[in-house]
């Protein structure tokens, strides 16, 4: 499917959101991802395709992705993404993925975002807000610094208990349990760099959570928040 680039916004330090208009109706659930194909000359070894979790909500008029651009050594893909002009056309796939809200809206949720891993949570929380739905959410947002915290307005909703830890440290599940409180009755969603997401999932399982209570979304290519 073709999609037309609309505009970009600088949300935080080195973090940008890119808006697109799909060529036909794109149906997706908050938290799902797409494959983006941006053709460009002399691609590096990471190629011309990337998977991105949508930061937009299905209730919004355009689709959007949010990513971090390395100011010192961006990939050829991200250079091309950042240089798109309004009206430029790219290719996108259909939506995929099961990192989505549970159907039971009484489920108590804990969202743990590592850096740019906040994107699916921005999508979910915006969807809940615009649908006037009811959820109970604790969101722990881990960031390298306060300058790299995005979407604070969208995330600050009455149904969200927001905790921003912008010290750049690696926080363990035991650290986060002090914020979460009783964890055994909650479902924990972890989104961020693969090493962080895997480590936290392992730790939470060792603390007695069942496999179905932990949902992860890995962001390949990122080693830290």
| Total number of domains constituting the chain | 2
> CATH code at 52?
2.40.30.10
Given 68, 92, 116, which residue is the final one in a domain? Answer: 92
Q: Report pTM.
A: 0.95
Distance CA 159, CA 113 (A): 17
Digit-by-digit pLDDT tens for the chain (225 residues) are 999 999 999 999 999 999 999 999 999 999 999 999 999 999 999 999 999 999 999 999 999 999 999 888 899 999 999 999 999 999 999 999 999 999 999 999 999 999 999 999 999 999 999 999 989 999 999 999 999 999 999 999 999 999 999 998 889 999 999 999 999 999 999 999 999 999 999 999 999 999 999 999 987 766 667
Question: Which structural domain, as residue segments, surrounds residue 203?
Answer: 108-219
Same domain, 19 and 72: yes
Same domain, 81 and 142: no
How far is CA 185 from each of CA 69, 90, 108, 158, 212, rounded to the nearest angstrom? 38, 43, 7, 21, 12
pLDDT score at 115: 94
pLDDT score at 172: 93
Same domain, 68 and 115: no
Same domain, 50 and 152: no
Domain annotation covers residue 67? yes
Distance CA 143, CA 149 (A): 6
pLDDT score at 181: 95
pLDDT score at 71: 86
Q: 73: Cβ–Cβ under 8 A, 6 or more apart, which residues?
A: none
């Amino acid at each position: 499917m073709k999609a037309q680039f609309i505009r970009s916004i600088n949300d935080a330090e080195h973090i940008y959101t890119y808006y697109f208009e799909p060529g036909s109706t794109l149906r997706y659930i908050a938290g799902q991802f797409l494959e983006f194909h941006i053709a460009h000359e002399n691609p590096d070894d990471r190629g011309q395709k990337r998977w991105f979790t949508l930061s937009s909500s299905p209730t919004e008029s355009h689709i959007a992705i949010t990513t971090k651009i390395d100011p010192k050594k961006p990939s050829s893909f991200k250079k091309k993404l950042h240089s798109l002009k309004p009206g430029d056309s790219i290719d996108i796939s259909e939506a995929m993925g099961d990192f989505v809200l549970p159907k039971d809206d009484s489920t108590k949720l804990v969202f743990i975002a590592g850096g740019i891993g906040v994107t699916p949570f921005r999508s979910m929380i915006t969807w809940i807000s615009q649908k006037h739905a009811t959820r109970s959410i604790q969101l722990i947002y881990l960031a390298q610094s306060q300058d790299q915290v995005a979407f604070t307005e969208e995330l600050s909703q009455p149904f969200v208990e927001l905790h921003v830890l912008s010290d750049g440290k690696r926080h363990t599940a035991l650290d986060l349990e002090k914020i979460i409180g009783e964890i055994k009755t909650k479902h924990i969603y972890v989104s961020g760099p693969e090493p962080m997401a895997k480590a936290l999932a392992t730790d939470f399982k060792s603390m007695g959570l069942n496999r179905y209570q932990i949902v992860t979304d890995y962001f390949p290519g990122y080693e830290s928040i």
